[in-house]
Amino acid sequence: MKYNWQLKDWTHFRYDLAEIQESLLDCVSKIGLFAGGLAALGVDVKQESIIHFMVAEALKTSAIEGEVLSREDVFSSIRNQFGLNDEKSKDVKDYRAVGISRVMVDAYNSFEKPLSKRQLNEWHAMLFKESVYMGCIGEYRKHAEPMQVVAGPIEKRKVHFEAPPSSSVAKEMSAFIKWFNDTAPGGVSEIKIAPVRAGIAHLYFESIHPYEDGNGRIGRAIAEKALAQGLGRPALLCISQEIEAHRKLYYSALQEAQKSNEITEWLRYFIEMLTAASIRSSNQIEFIVRKSKFFDRFAAKLNARQKKVISRMLEEGADGFEGGINARKYGSISKCSKATATRDLTEMLEMKVLKLRPGGGRSVSYDLALASPCS
């Protein structure tokens, strides 16, 4: 079987927008609704929202590649990049958290700039600066053996995709970077529909697979850059969160798209994924507004332990704290006795900060009693 880059029409991507017009219109509408919701936020809540999205995306784009990072490390690192932490909060020991945070913030700050080999290599160096396992850090791969995407146990490994040989990567990437900049807003070959350009950019880059590792994370950052350039602002959509939630579907669509340069079905998948990511982003904006109102209402009534636990619960986002909070979890987070935990929980139930979790059985658990966004 030949892959897309081995075919005579490689880089001459073909697609029929009429086939995906309905999905595309829905996508543009949902992105617009999210953009409007974000723009309507107050300055402080908007800044909190930006950090919230970047932390969540950093965690999920790493999780897709099998890396489980500490939310606290990523949160602190992103705040460091924005200069928001005091000196005591600046020490983050996990280089992976620092690396992905630096990539996220750089992509956010430089979305308007043309793409360059230097920027891509800097992103790669950010991701793997402290790695002792990587041969080529901050540069394209050089190994002679094929770059293959494989899955399954060693004795039954299945090759899903084989990328161009390392010897041709520099030439392929030079063409890709030129294509990316030429198709940007105002470019000589401008693609006016941002979701379409973002989808092609991601597929094109992933098909070259220019680095030993980190291609997925950088490829998603490229898609976000393309989308941001088309929108005229950082996208801040939950792209990695949506992909991670439906990882098998993503890989299946990508593998199928890498068999041909007729990519209508890939764009259908990508646009529908962006639509779902936009809805997820809008839901998270709604949650952040509810969270802000919640703290405005109760902050003065809570003691230090209660604030710490509530903050920890809210870190889990719109999906809530898994299993709710009970006296054991409360004591573990706040470092207090079970009796103190029970008393604090009872007080918050009476204040209507918490509500009883249904179906708790013998163990009493609670959820946050967040008001609706319109209240």
- DSSP per-residue string spanning 239-304: HHHHHHHTHHHHHHHHHHHTT-SB-HHHHHHHHHHHHHHHHHHHHHHHHHHHHHHHHHHHGGG--H
In a domain, 293, yes or no: no
In a domain, 296, yes or no: no
In a domain, 157, yes or no: yes
**Amino acid making up residue 232:** G
DSSP H or E stretch at residue 368:
strand 366-368
In a domain, 374, yes or no: no
Per-residue pLDDT tens digits for 302-348: 999 999 999 888 877 666 677 889 999 999 999 999 999 999 999 99
In a domain, 352, yes or no: yes
- What DSSP line would sit under 109-174, residue for residue? HTTTSPP-HHHHHHHHHHHHTT-SS-SSSSS----SS--EEEES-GGG-EEEEEPPPGGGHHHHHH
8 Å CB contact between 282 and 34? yes
Going 337 to 343 to 347 to 350, the CA torsion angle's sign is: positive
Predicted confidence at residue 48, as pLDDT, reads 85
Predicted confidence at residue 158, as pLDDT, reads 80
Which domain does 202 fall in, by range?
A: 4-286
In a domain, 375, yes or no: no
8 Å CB contact between 231 and 27? no
Q: Show the tokens assigned to 175.
A: 């063409």
Do 356 and 281 lie in one domain? The reply is no
Identify the domain boundary among 239, 257, 286: 286
Domain count for the chain, please give it. 2
CATH of the domain at 361: 1.10.10.10
Do 248 and 337 lie in one domain? The reply is no
Proportion of the chain in helix, strand, coil states, percent, rounded to 5: 60, 5, 35
Do 13 and 76 lie in one domain? The reply is yes
Low-confidence ranges of the chain (pLDDT < 50): 373-375
8 Å CB contact between 273 and 30? no
Q: Angle, nearest 10°, between helix axes 247-257 and 194-208? A: 80
Do 58 and 194 lie in one domain? The reply is yes
In a domain, 245, yes or no: yes
Cα separation of 2 and 42, whole Å?
A: 53
Do 331 and 234 lie in one domain? The reply is no
Do 218 and 82 lie in one domain? The reply is yes
Question: Residue 148 pairs with which residues in a beta bridge?
Answer: 162
CATH of the domain at 29: 1.10.3290.10
132 to each of 65, 210, 344, 367, how far by Cα in Å?
A: 18, 19, 47, 43
Do 315 and 244 lie in one domain? The reply is no
Predicted confidence at residue 322, as pLDDT, reads 78
Identify the domain boundary among 286, 316, 332: 286
Do 134 and 173 lie in one domain? The reply is yes
Do 241 and 328 lie in one domain? The reply is no
Do 55 and 112 lie in one domain? The reply is yes
In a domain, 295, yes or no: no
Do 93 and 147 lie in one domain? The reply is yes
Q: What is the pTM of this model?
A: 0.86
Do 222 and 280 lie in one domain? The reply is yes
